[in-house]
Amino acid sequence: MSVVSSNEKAGTGRRVLTVAVPPAAVAAETDRVTLEYRKRARISGFRKGKVPLELVRKRFHDEIEQEVVERLVPRYWKQAQAEAELEPLLPPEVSDVDFTPGETLTFQATVDLRPEIRLGDLSGFELPEMETRPEEAEVDRAIDDLRRQVGEWREVDRPAARGDRVEGALTELTAGEAPGEPSEVAFEVGDETVWEELSLAVTGAKKGATPRFERREEGPEGPVERSFRIEVQAVRELELPPLDEETVKKIGDFESVEQFRERVTEELERRKQAESRRRREGALLEQLCERHPLELPEKVVENETQGMLREYAEELARRGVDVESAQVDWPRLAAELEPQARRRVQTRLLLDAVAESRELTVSEAEFEGQMALLARAQGTDPATLRRALDRDGRLDELRRRFLRGKAVDYLLGDGPPEPPAAEPADDAGEEE
């Protein structure tokens, strides 16, 4: 029996389905929920589980009705989706729910569908080439960075310079007020994580000097000038240890200097290979989108933009920022992120089309292998991760993500396989 009573277009890529749940299903689910409420109900004068059903229906009428709707709508939406052979990009927007006990329950589900994509040329991409074998000078710099980790900071009697470590007491000086309490600081001059004004202030200063500096910052009501004084208490320079077996054993599990240098070279090569892959993939996806402009479903773009805003808010929270009180212009940020959101949506749709046209698949063994890697990265086991993803309805999307990775691999290769021969479709190109 069909549960879709109407299926209409609602703009580019949008469909509105009216779904009808049969009265028998509504009555059965209502009875089931009512009995569950009866088991839990606590009403004076009745033992638990013995409250008359009519009293339960009367007392919990709204709650029972809401739960029946919450159970039936997702269940019958899945049936309607299969019946209409739709592949929505997002969960449906449910509206106009009409529920009367014992009668047909109806609701409308609005969904955004994948746009029709006609793939063009999938070869001849201009991809950047990058030398991945590290030069000797790069290896030497990496080795020196590792030696720095086990080096010793020795105090020197000279002015501070870039690369030195300065220890001191930092005091904020507010105009018209007594200086604040000094705070102990220790930093490397020129380190990019250190205020540039602070590094400049101590450059050329010796122990005992008290240089001052100004720093301009953004406040809730606009730019604010802050003044500081730092008392230099020590200047230290790093003494690198000799490159010998004793040093490399301090750095890690290395038997010899030769083995240490070989491992450093291998790690640098892996990093450069990963960077080369990132650049080539970026260039590929940029050109793929340029070759295939799409009219994107606006609701999907909006949903992607909101997801990016959530990612930004979560990153602020991880950095210890109070998101609620942070001075963030969210509408302006959303407008700035929208072009990037559009490109993300377009890229996913195109890679899905490539995977489908080339009949790419992710085998169960490949999927389980990827799940194991993801579970290890999240500090859990594959079975637990699978259950969580399945419960949240994200398992299919994860499989699609792996499949998109396969599509990228094909496009980055010597050339994609020839598409399978397509049978001519009736009324090709006509709108429904």
CA distances (Å), 34 to each of 49, 58, 60, 68, in order? 11, 10, 9, 9
User: Any bridge partners for residue 230, and if so which?
Assistant: 170
Contact (Cβ atoms closer than 8 angstroms) between residue 244 and residue 261: no
89-118 pLDDT, tens per residue?
888 999 999 988 778 999 999 999 988 899
pLDDT single digits (tens) 146-170? 999 999 999 999 999 999 999 999 9
The per-residue pLDDT for 420 is 45
Torsion (CA) 306, 309, 311, 316 in degrees, nearest 10: -160
Measured from the Cβ of residue 328, the count of other Cβ atoms closer than 10 Å reads 14
CA–CA distance, 12 with 363 (Å, rounded to integer): 34
Q: Are 281 and 409 in contact (CB under 8 A)?
A: no
Q: Write down the pLDDT at residue 152.
A: 94
Query: What pTM does this model have?
Result: 0.72
* Helix spans in 18-102 (H): 23-40, 53-59, 61-84
Chain-centroid distance, C-alpha 290:
24
User: Rounded distance, CA 231 to CA 229, Å?
Assistant: 7
At position 96, the amino acid (one-letter code) is D
Q: Write out the two tokens for 106.
A: 């109806």
Positions of the chain with pLDDT under 70: 175-178, 219-222, 414-432
